[in-house]
Amino acid sequence: MNIVLIGYRGTGKSAVGSVLAHKLGWPIYGFDPMIVQRAGRSIPQIVEELGWEAFRDLETEVTLEYAQKDCCILDPGGGCILRPQNVKALKQGGVVFWLQASVPVIAERIQGDDQRPSLTGTNTFIDEISQVLEERTPKYQAAADFTIDTDRLSIEEVAERILDLFRSRSTPG
C-alpha cells in the first residue's frame, strides 16, 4: 500500500513526501521530475513544443507505471487527477491524501516558480490559481481518501497526520 499525495502545486506535497519517505524508509517518486527526465526537456519546454496533451500523456504513463509499486510515497503533479485512469490506478494501490491550501498561501509558496507554464494563459497569477482550483476541487475531493489543510500546519505536522491516518486505515479491525 502506497501513500499518494495529491493537490495543487504549493500545497506541500513534495516537502511532506520527503519527510514521510524519511520516517518510513520508503522511496518517494515525484512524477514531474520523472516526466522531465523521460522527455529530455523541462515542463515548460514540453508544453511549448508538444502541448499540454503530450504532457498529460507522459504523466499518465508515469502514473500507471508507479502506481503498481508498493510501500512508496507517490507525488504526482497537481493535474494528475484530471484523467480518471490516473485516479483509478493511484487509488487501487494507495491511500490518497489531498493536501489543500488557500489561494493566498499557495500564491506565497509558489511565487517565483518558473518550472511550470501557465495553465490558463491569460489570467493574472492569483486569478489562475483561483480558476484552476475551482475547476479541480471536485476532482481532488472525489479522488481523496483524506483531506488535510496545510495552511497553518508545519510540514512535520502534516506528515504526522498522514501517518496517523494511514496507519489507522491500514490496520485491520
Residues 3 and 95 sit within 8 Å (Cβ to Cβ): yes
**Position 54 pLDDT exceeds 70:** yes
Distance of alpha carbon 166 from alpha carbon 173, whole angstroms: 14
* Count: domains in the chain: 1
CATH classification of the domain holding 77: 3.40.50.300
Distance of alpha carbon 67 from alpha carbon 4, whole angstroms: 9
pLDDT of residue 127: 83
Output the pTM of the full model. Answer: 0.90
**Position 173 pLDDT exceeds 80:** no
CB atoms under 10 Å from CB of 47, counted, come to 19
pLDDT of residue 33: 94
Distance of alpha carbon 31 from alpha carbon 116, whole angstroms: 13
Beta strands 94-100 and 28-30 are unpaired
Domain extent at residue 88: 2-170
pLDDT of residue 129: 86
pLDDT of residue 84: 97
Exposure letters 145-154 (e unless 16+ CB within 10 A, then b): eeebebeebe
Residues 89 and 145 sit within 8 Å (Cβ to Cβ): no
**Position 163 pLDDT exceeds 80:** yes
pLDDT in tens, 68-86: 999 999 999 899 999 999 9
pLDDT in tens, 101-125: 999 899 888 876 555 554 555 567 7
- Could you identify the residue written with the cell 511532506? 16
